[in-house]
Every structure is written in C-alpha cells, then in structure tokens.
C-alpha cells in the first residue's frame, strides 16, 4: 500500500495476533516513510508512507465462495489544513498492489536487463530469485475512484477556518478547568473527605 501524507498506518495496531486474524492478515512486513502518529498533514515533509502486508490465505473448501473473501487494513487520517471554501477535501489514494511472491526453483539468478532499474519499490524487499504474480484491481475500483481505477478518491472532513480561532481558546479553557479541578481535589475538597474516611476506618 502506498499512502499520501494525510493518511497513515499505526504499526502498533498490527502487533496483536487476534486482531490480525480478524482482518485476514498475517503480519505487517515492512513500513517506510512518514510514521508520526500525531502530526497534522501540514507539517509533514515527506510524501507519505508505504507498507507491505502479508495476507492470510482464504480457507478453501468445496462450498466456499472465494469471491466474498476480504482483507481489511485500517488506516488513520491526519488533521487536514482548514479551509473556508468547503467542509470536505478530496484525497487520492492509490489502489493497493496485490501479488503473490514465489521463489524460483531453477537457476541462481534471473537475467537482468541492463536498461531496467530494479529495487525501486517493494521488489527490493524480496530476494533476487523472486517471481511476482500480480492481481489487477477490480473493475469496481474504476467506478468508485478515478477513470483508470488506479486511484481511489476519498472525501474527508475539513475544519472550517472561520472557526479555527476558537480551537486553541477552547482547548486552553478545558485544560485550565481540568487543572483547577485536580488542584481543588488535592488541596481541599477531595483530600479532606478522603482523610475523614481514613480516620473512621482507624
């Protein structure tokens, strides 16, 4: 998966074996690019991130319907830059590249074309004797996304910049209110009640 800077993957989410099994995943094999979990989109300097997942094989049986088998990869959205024009912004996310990676039994190394540039993408994560069998995107991708079916357009919410000035003020007010409540509990209100209960028990 190749993701723009506004969308990211939480690598810690994929350390739970039960969660992986529920999503038909085996493991997150590689993750490169931007991995900050809290930074908004407008401070990200890199283009985004790329992740390599190993999918679980569907359990085949005589009555199994393979066409309904799905694998889910949860992603997260960063805060997108506020706008005063629209409350939505369109993000173009590339369609996932699905493939089988198999080891070649014959020969020690494939013949390399001197005009080809290798190891520029996910092929660099595999050995030199790896053969790739790619699965093309489904026709439904073209209907839901762009014309060529290689990009999926997502409409994401955007903060109205006309009200953006209230966000830091409201945040400051909530933090001060919480801090005041904690101090009040420690100094007087809550502490006195707790000490009375301790004396009663003694």
Domain presence at residue 174? yes
- What 3-state class would DSSP assign to 131? strand
Domain presence at residue 84? no
Domain presence at residue 18? no
Residue 66: CA atoms inside 13 Å, Cβ hemisphere, count? Answer: 7
Cβ 41 vs Cβ 80: under 8 Å: yes
DSSP state of 86: -
Residue 63's pLDDT is 67
E-strand ranges in 56-150 read 76-77, 88-94, 98-103, 130-135
Q: Tell me the residue range of the domain where 190 lies.
A: 166-201
Residue 30's pLDDT is 92
Cα–Cα distance measured from residue 168 to residue 156, given in angstroms and rounded to the nearest whole number: 22
Residues of the chain with pLDDT under 70: 61-67, 106-116, 118, 138-149, 189-202
* Residue where a domain stops, chosen among 117, 136, 155: 136
Report the number of distinct structural domains present in the chain: 2
Residue 64's pLDDT is 63
Residue 193's pLDDT is 56
Domain presence at residue 92? no
Residue 82's pLDDT is 80
Cβ 65 vs Cβ 142: under 8 Å: no
- Cα dihedral value 13, 17, 23, 25, nearest 10: 100
Residue 112's pLDDT is 65
Domain presence at residue 128? yes
Residue 76's pLDDT is 92
Sign of CA dihedral 138, 141, 143, 144: positive
179 contacts: CB under 8 Å, gap ≥ 6: none
DSSP state of 98: E
Domain presence at residue 156? no
Smallest CA-to-CA distance from 7 within 53, 29, 30, 40 is with 40
Pairing of strands 25-33, 7-8: unpaired
Smallest CA-to-CA distance from 31 within 55, 72, 3 is with 3
Residue 159's pLDDT is 80
124 contacts: CB under 8 Å, gap ≥ 6: 118
52 contacts: CB under 8 Å, gap ≥ 6: 28, 29, 30, 31, 122, 125
């Amino acid at each position: 998966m190749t993701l723009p800077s506004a969308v990211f993957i939480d690598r810690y989410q994929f350390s739970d074996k039960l969660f992986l099994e529920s999503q038909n995943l085996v493991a997150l094999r590689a993750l490169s690019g931007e991995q900050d979990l809290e930074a908004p989109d407008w401070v990200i300097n890199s283009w985004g991130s790329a992740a390599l997942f190993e999918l679980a094989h569907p359990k085949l049986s005589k009555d199994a319907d393979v066409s309904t088998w799905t694998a889910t990869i949860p992603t997260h959205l960063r805060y997108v830059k506020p706008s005063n024009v629209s409350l939505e912004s369109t993000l173009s996310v590339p369609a996932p590249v699905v493939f089988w990676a198999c080891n070649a039994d014959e020969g020690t190394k494939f013949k390399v074309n001197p005009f080809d540039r290798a190891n520029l993408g996910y092929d660099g994560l595999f050995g030199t004797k790896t053969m790739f069998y790619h699965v093309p995107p489904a026709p439904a991708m073209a209907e839901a996304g762009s014309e060529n079916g290689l990009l999926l357009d997502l409409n994401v919410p955007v903060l109205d910049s006309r009200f953006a000035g209230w966000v830091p003020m409201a945040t400051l007010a909530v933090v001060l209110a919480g801090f005041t409540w904690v101090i009040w509990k420690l100094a007087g209100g809550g502490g006195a009640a707790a000490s009375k209960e301790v004396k009663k028990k003694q």
